[in-house]
């Protein structure tokens, strides 16, 4: 087990902690987990809204990754970019849906999709882009976005084919927000509106309409 101080905007003390078996030790593995945890929490706190809990704990387990308030579990064999990715993703869930409490059983895109989007900014920011997402080939990617065999993103997760969940809940809504940010509104306008959404709906239960209204209200 190791730990480090997380520096939050308000100065409130919070601790990043990692717990892992000896098999997971290594500079390209869990020895960097606390560094990842600290960076992830500090980025989201600075960019969107301050982390609310007294500790952020990353536990090495036998699942791919799973989020809970203040504690996440990531695979004990994950290494380097994949350990950063899963750690950053599971802690991103603190903001969606722990803080902004949208209903993940009905609107997976407001949970996994929004999280996937903020993960891309966090990965670009971490350690001068050490694990930045590769530039997406939008020409190739467009065939995924407009594939008529996929259910609508609005479909509740119970009602879509499980093999499509990765695209519909994570990838497509995440890419949609990136398109809106990078190519339509520009980062400054988009980030102001997205931050307003997070702050207005923190510790509440927004529906899709609440998201649209907030974004339109701030952007226009």
Nearer to Zn ion, 31 or 82 (CB): 82
Nearer to Zn ion, 38 or 89 (CB): 89
Give residue number: closest CB to Zn ion: 112
Nearer to Zn ion, 133 or 192 (CB): 133
Pairing of strands 65-68, 71-75: antiparallel
Alpha helices in the chain (DSSP H): 33-47, 80-92, 112-125, 138-145, 165, 172-179, 187-200, 208-219
The nearest distance, CB 60 to Zn ion, in angstroms, is 18
Stretch that binds Zn ion, among 110-118, 129-137, 178-186, 190-198 (CB under 5 A): 110-118
Question: Please, what sign has the CA dihedral across residues 80, 60, 97, 198?
Answer: negative
The nearest distance, CB 112 to Zn ion, in angstroms, is 5
Q: Which residues contact 69 (CB under 8 A, 6 or more apart)?
A: 53, 94, 98
Stretch that binds Zn ion, among 10-18, 45-53, 97-105, 106-114 (CB under 5 A): 106-114
Residues that bind Zn ion (CB under 5 A): 112
């Amino acid at each position: 087990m190791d730990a480090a101080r997380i520096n939050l905007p308000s100065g409130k003390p919070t601790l990043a902690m990692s717990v892992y078996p000896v098999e997971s030790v290594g500079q390209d593995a869990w020895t960097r987990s606390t560094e990842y945890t600290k960076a992830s929490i500090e980025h989201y706190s600075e960019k969107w809204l301050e982390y609310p809990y007294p500790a952020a704990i990353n536990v090495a387990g036998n699942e791919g990754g799973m989020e809970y308030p203040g504690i996440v579990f990531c695979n004990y064999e994950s290494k380097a970019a994949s350990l950063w990715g899963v750690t950053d993703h599971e802690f991103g869930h603190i903001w969606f849906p722990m803080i902004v409490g949208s209903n993940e059983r009905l609107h997976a895109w407001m949970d996994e999709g929004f999280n996937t989007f903020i993960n891309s900014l966090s990965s670009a920011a971490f350690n001068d882009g050490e694990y930045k997402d590769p530039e997406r080939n939008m020409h190739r990617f467009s065939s995924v976005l407009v594939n008529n065999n996929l259910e609508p993103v609005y479909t509740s997760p119970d009602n879509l084919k499980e093999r499509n969940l990765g695209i519909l809940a994570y990838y497509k809504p995440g890419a949609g927000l990136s398109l809106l940010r990078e190519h339509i509104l520009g980062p400054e306008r988009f980030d102001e509106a997205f931050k307003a959404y997070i702050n207005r709906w923190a510790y509440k239960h927004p529906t899709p309409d609440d998201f649209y209204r907030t974004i339109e209200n701030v952007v226009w």
